[in-house]
Structure 1
Amino acid sequence: FYVTLIVNRWWNQYRSIPLPDRIMCALSGGLQGGDERGRLLRRTLMRYASLSALLILRSVSTAAFKRFPTIDHVVEAGFMTRDERKKFEGLQSPYNKYWIPCVWFTNLVAVARCEGRIKDDCTLKLILE
Structure 2
Amino acid sequence: MLGFFVSFVVSRWTLILREIGWIHEAAIAFATFIKENDNDSRMLKRSLIRYMVLHQALVLRDISMQVRKRFPTWETLVAAGLLTNSEMNKLRKIDDIYSQYYTPIQWVNGHLYKAHLEGKIRSEKILDSLLKEVQKFRDGLSSLLRYDWVPIPLVYPQVIILASFLIFLMVVS
Question: TM-score, with normalisation over the residues of structure 2?
Answer: 0.67
Are the counterparts in 2 of residues 118 and 124 from structure 1 also a CA contact under 8 Å?
Answer: yes
Aligned position for 2:107: 104
Compare CA radii of gyration and give the structure with the larger one. 2
The CA deviation at 1:92 is: 1.1
Label 1:17 to 1:126 Cα distance change in 2 as closer, same or farther (>3 A). farther
The reply on whether 1:81 has 2:84 as its aligned counterpart is yes
Q: Kindly provide the CA deviation profile for residues 16-62 of structure 1, in whole angstroms up to 9, marking residues without a partner as x.
A: 44322111100000113110010010010010011111111111111
Are the counterparts in 2 of residues 20 and 49 from structure 1 also a CA contact under 8 Å?
Answer: yes
Letter paired with 2:85: R
SS of equivalent residue, structure 1 residue 32:
coil
Label 1:28 to 1:91 Cα distance change in 2 as closer, same or farther (>3 A). same
Are the counterparts in 2 of residues 52 and 102 from structure 1 also a CA contact under 8 Å?
Answer: yes
Q: Kindly provide the CA deviation profile for residues 81-107 of structure 1, in whole angstroms up to 9, marking residues without a partner as x.
A: 000001001111153621110011100
Are the counterparts in 2 of residues 113 and 119 from structure 1 also a CA contact under 8 Å?
Answer: yes
Are the counterparts in 2 of residues 26 and 127 from structure 1 also a CA contact under 8 Å?
Answer: yes
**Quick one: which of 65, 71, 77 aligns to 1:62?**
65
Label 1:128 to 1:54 Cα distance change in 2 as closer, same or farther (>3 A). same
The CA deviation at 1:5 is: 5.5
Letter paired with 2:106: V
Unaligned runs of 5+ in 2: 133-173
* Separation in structure 2 between the aligned mates of residue 125 and residue 31 of structure 1, nearest angstrom: 13
Aligned position for 1:53: 56
Aligned position for 2:29: 26
Equivalent pairs, count: 129
Question: TM-score, with normalisation over the residues of structure 1?
Answer: 0.87
Unaligned runs of 5+ in 1: none
Aligned position for 2:167: none
Are the counterparts in 2 of residues 18 and 49 from structure 1 also a CA contact under 8 Å?
Answer: no
Aligned position for 1:91: 94
The CA deviation at 1:6 is: 5.8
Identical pairs, percent:
32
Label 1:94 to 1:34 Cα distance change in 2 as closer, same or farther (>3 A). closer
Are the counterparts in 2 of residues 51 and 80 from structure 1 also a CA contact under 8 Å?
Answer: yes
